């Protein structure tokens, strides 16, 4: 059985975790800050706040951006539900911007059109969350220009994209956004088991995020409403959460990030190899925007409609052969919870078309060329192209 993604854990990773387990601090110790500084340095951002998941990171990022009841957040429909749910946690409403048919990221043209309409109807978003699908950055410079023009905040959902680059610079440096969120779930680029992080260059935002991560509590006398009662004293000055990352997780993260460039390079080599081995098949292979160097979290193919098997059958036959392909993503607005909020089939046709055609092939650093060959043979077999496509499919 070959999964679509999985972690890569070394002996050094295991040793790093064991050391924390033998130390004085399992949580709220020095490893969390070390991990934050390491990631901030790697990305070229001023500040980083580690939390227990990207979902938590998106929640406190929205709160730090001032998202509140009555506000509107826009994101891509081609994402994991967490990119949209964070708006609802804050009591705001959520809407979507359809995707670009080449990158499968939020379309800048659709975004601009929708902003112009929203300006006239008085329903401009407070926050927009572009999602770097499969690890490929969105067109952030254009999005930042629109943010200035229409006055919204930008939070990048870079859950797929740590280790990726945009216009030659690391994703996460927040040059074109207010904050950037990473996920460290085991299928992502580097892992802490569960975990996430918010990057920002704004000191005030950093302070807000640190407080929201831990109950809304401050130990900073200048933030308090009265004189400190003594060395034990702290104040809760707003409603926060316990979204803290443990030192056990952070130590794993510090060890993992030493290999991030190697991981991303390996993902690129495997992606390049898929490109070569699949080029004659009736598929659309992942298109790469010249401004982006993807982290290649996912390798997503799209089936052409002239294939004589349905998408569903191709998917099932691959799974029957032990190739645990996946589908990214079920358009968020078509989930029952979102339908109940008023969304319908047909609202975001490019994302819906993507859902009807997309299949995620296995891709992770420990995937061997032999394993990858099995995926290719199975796919060629299912599409009836094993010796060659033999004129089976014509443009
Ligand atoms: C994985 C993922 C998340 C959520 O990450 P967790 O760390 O599991 O909370 C959010 N957005 C996207 C796009 C993701 O892929």
Q: Which fold has domain 260-390?
A: 3.90.1150
Q: Which fold has domain 2-257?
A: 3.40.640
Most informative mutation of 57, 82, 104, 296 for ligand 1 (most atoms within 8 A of CB): 82
Do 2-257 and 260-390 have matching folds?
A: no
Q: 139 near 165, Cβ under 8 Å?
A: no
Q: Which candidate, 43, 40, 64, places its Cα nearest to that of 137?
A: 43
Distance CA 142, CA 135 (A): 18
Spell out the residues 6+ positions from residue 164 whose beta carbon is closer than 8 angstroms to its own: 132, 135, 136, 137, 158, 170, 171, 264, 292, 293, 294, 295
Domain boundaries, given as residue ranges, for the chain: 2-257, 260-390
Cβ of 80 below 6 Å from ligand 1: yes
Q: Which candidate, 103, 101, 69, 97, places its Cα nearest to that of 83?
A: 97
Q: Which candidate, 167, 227, 194, 172, places its Cα nearest to that of 51?
A: 194
Cβ of 196 below 6 Å from ligand 1: yes
Spell out the residues 6+ positions from residue 193 whose beta carbon is closer than 8 angstroms to its own: 184, 186, 249, 252
- CA of 274 from ligand 1 middle (Å) equals 25
Distance CA 245, CA 43 (A): 19
- The DSSP output letter for 125 is -
- Tens place of pLDDT per residue across the chain (395 aa): 999 999 999 999 999 999 999 999 999 999 999 999 999 999 999 999 999 999 999 999 999 999 999 999 999 999 999 999 999 999 999 999 999 999 999 999 999 999 999 999 999 999 999 999 999 999 999 999 999 999 999 999 999 999 999 999 999 999 999 999 999 999 999 999 999 999 999 999 999 999 999 999 999 999 999 999 999 999 999 999 999 999 999 999 999 999 999 999 999 999 999 999 999 999 999 999 999 999 999 999 999 988 999 999 999 999 999 999 999 999 999 999 999 999 999 999 999 999 999 999 999 999 999 999 999 999 999 999 977 665 566 54
Cβ of 52 below 6 Å from ligand 1: no
Report the pLDDT value the prediction gives residue 386, as an integer from 0 to 100: 78
Cβ of 271 below 6 Å from ligand 1: no
Cβ of 253 below 6 Å from ligand 1: no
| Ligand 1 atom closest to residue 194's alpha carbon, by position in its atom list | 7
Distance CA 179, CA 157 (A): 9
- CA of 388 from ligand 1 middle (Å) equals 38
Cβ of 152 below 6 Å from ligand 1: no
- CA of 175 from ligand 1 middle (Å) equals 22
């Amino acid at each position: 059985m070959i999964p679509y993604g999985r972690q890569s854990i070394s002996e050094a990773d295991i040793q790093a975790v064991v050391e924390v387990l033998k130390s004085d601090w399992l949580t709220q110790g020095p490893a969390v800050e070390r991990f934050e500084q390491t990631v901030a340095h790697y990305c070229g951002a001023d500040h980083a706040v580690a939390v227990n998941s990207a979902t938590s990171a998106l929640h406190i990022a929205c709160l730090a951006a001032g998202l509140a009841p009555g506000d509107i957040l826009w994101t891509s429909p081609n994402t994991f539900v967490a990119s949209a749910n964070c708006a609802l946690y804050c009591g705001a409403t959520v809407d979507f911007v359809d995707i670009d048919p080449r990158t499968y990221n939020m379309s800048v043209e659709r975004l601009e059109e929708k902003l112009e309409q929203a300006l006239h109807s008085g329903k401009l978003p407070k926050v927009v969350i572009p999602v770097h699908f499969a690890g490929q950055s969105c067109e952030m410079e254009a999005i930042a220009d629109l943010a200035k023009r229409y006055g919204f905040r930008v939070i990048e959902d870079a859950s797929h994209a740590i280790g990726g680059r945009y216009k030659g610079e690391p994703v996460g440096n927040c040059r074109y956004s207010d904050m950037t969120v990473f996920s460290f779930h085991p299928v992502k680029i580097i892992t802490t088991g569960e975990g996430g992080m918010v990057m920002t260059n704004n000191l005030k935002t950093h302070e807000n995020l640190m407080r929201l991560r831990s109950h809304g509590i401050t130990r900073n006398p200048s933030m308090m409403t009265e004189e400190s009662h003594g060395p034990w004293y702290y104040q809760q000055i707003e409603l926060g959460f316990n979204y803290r990352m443990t030192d056990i997780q952070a130590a794993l993260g510090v060890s993992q990030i030493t290999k991030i460039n190697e991981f991303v390079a390996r993902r690129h080599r495997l992606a390049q190899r898929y490109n070569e081995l699949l080029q004659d098949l009736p598929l659309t292979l992942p298109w790469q925007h010249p401004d982006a160097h993807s982290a290649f979290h996912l390798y997503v193919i799209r089936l052409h409609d002239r294939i004589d098997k349905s998408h569903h059958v191709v998917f099932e036959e691959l799974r029957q052969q032990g190739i645990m392909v996946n589908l990214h993503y079920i358009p968020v607005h078509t989930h029952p919870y979102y339908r109940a909020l008023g969304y319908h089939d047909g609202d975001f046709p490019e994302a819906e078309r993507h859902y009807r055609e997309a299949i995620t092939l296995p891709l992770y650093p420990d995937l061997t060329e032999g394993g990858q060959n099995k995926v290719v043979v199975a796919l060629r077999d299912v599409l009836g192209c094993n010796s060659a496509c033999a004129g089976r499919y014509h443009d």
